[in-house]
Structure 1
């Protein structure tokens, strides 16, 4: 007897490269575009994602996520979901981690958050509320979003605290899949993480 998929299958897509993602600058609310290379990365996702029958397509309101969504072939059906926005970095917007740690040794966003921005508790609650709404959906759900929020969402999906997100790196225009263990439908799992088109299997 084949296992029955329980709950939605979440396809999390990080946006393509921007000037700030290339330079390592924290990009939260700053609405910067993809680079030409980032646009190519987004287009490269299209052959794989177009083969998946999505019941819902949701995207962060930031143009880097919306453009990735459009270039991947889902601009028309996508709905804006503010909860998919990147971490609000507050006073650390546009700064690099090394620069921040030169003034605040040992700092990590996943433990310490950002002054005038989101704390780990706040972003954890945002992810939990989003997960609660996603669990009401069925089928394959595409989520176009951002790197550090994606790490938080994955950690919370499997019941881990936000600090564990520091172990879940996401590259530009990567695909990850969050779902349930088919043999144990009540157990959430990460079934694919940080895959690029060069490594995604053909269907």
Structure 2
């Protein structure tokens, strides 16, 4: 990260570690699928490299940590911060929020992309264009639309800007950590940069990966700088 951005509040976007369903490619929304042993190792590797005093994600510099309610995300948070979990909770810096829950896939839960497309073809859908979750969402079928996902992410972004906005140029520590899911982290990055969800942004974090978001020109009205993406060692 450039030195000029070192004092600008940052948002660390973290994808939970591997699960059996993320490994197989099954859509995992509300299902509470635990991390695999390899998934826990991925997150531990990220923690050893990036989390701790004087490291990229320094617990002393955090203003807030938001975590998805799903156990795979909460376990990722616990592995990342270890002994500092209790301190973050005691300081009131931890919040579990549905705003970071993975996309509600409805009837597509547990399916592969190929199976979803076959299901939609049987329903007479997508005759002109192939199904694209970023455009078409998960309806019909009881799942969320792209607009619904976008709206709840925007609600969280507003909270982050309210927290970080007054401290663009001072020494108050208000870095933010978000622990979430595959589709949700990509959706968040798109909305942070001001793009609609169907915008073609080539961003895909590996399980346990870390994305770094910040602001241009120390201005909360310009949250348009993607500083970098880090991945855990395997």
Q: Verify same fold: TM over 0.5.
A: yes
Is the 2:11–2:212 Cα contact (8 Å) retained in structure 1? yes
- Structure 1 unaligned runs (5+)? none
> Which residue number in structure 2 is paired with residue 26 of structure 1?
27
Deviation at 1:171, TM superposition (A): 1.4
Deviation at 1:182, TM superposition (A): 3.8
Alignment: residue pair count: 196
Deviation at 1:107, TM superposition (A): 1.1
Higher helix share: 2
Deviation at 1:83, TM superposition (A): 0.7
Is the 2:69–2:101 Cα contact (8 Å) retained in structure 1? yes
Determine helix, strand or coil for the equivalent of 1:190. strand
Deviation at 1:186, TM superposition (A): 4.0
Q: Deviations over 1:142-175 (max 9, x none)?
A: 1111110111111011110011266322210000
Pairing partner for 2:187 from 140, 152, 173: 152
> Which residue number in structure 1 is paired with residue 11 of structure 2?
10
Indicate whether 1:70 and 2:72 are aligned: no
Determine helix, strand or coil for the equivalent of 1:141. strand
What's the TM-score, normalizing by structure 2?
A: 0.77
Determine helix, strand or coil for the equivalent of 2:63. strand
Is the 1:110–1:165 Cα contact (8 Å) retained in structure 2? no
> Which residue number in structure 2 is paired with residue 109 of structure 1?
133
Is the 2:190–2:201 Cα contact (8 Å) retained in structure 1? no
Deviant stretches of 4+, over 3 Å: 2-6, 182-186
> Which residue number in structure 2 is paired with residue 99 of structure 1?
115
Tell me, in whole angstroms, the C-alpha distance in 2 between the residues paired with 1:165 and 1:80. Answer: 29
What root-mean-square deviation, in Å, do the aligned CA atoms of Structure 1 and Structure 2 show?
2.1
What's the TM-score, normalizing by structure 1?
A: 0.88
Indicate whether 1:87 and 2:103 are aligned: yes
Deviation at 1:184, TM superposition (A): 6.4
- Structure 2 unaligned runs (5+)? 89-93, 121-125, 165-173
CA distance 1:60–1:185, shift in 2 (3 Å): closer
Tell me, in whole angstroms, the C-alpha distance in 2 between the residues paired with 1:185 and 1:136. Answer: 9
Higher strand share: 1
Q: Which moved more, 1:48-57 or 1:135-144?
A: 48-57
Tell me, in whole angstroms, the C-alpha distance in 1 between the residues paired with 2:228 and 2:150. Answer: 22
Pairing partner for 1:174 from 199, 209, 216: 209
Q: Deviations over 1:52-83 (max 9, x none)?
A: 23221221110000000001115332321221
Tell me, in whole angstroms, the C-alpha distance in 2 between the residues paired with 1:161 and 1:5. Answer: 29
Tell me, in whole angstroms, the C-alpha distance in 2 between the residues paired with 1:154 and 1:30. Answer: 23
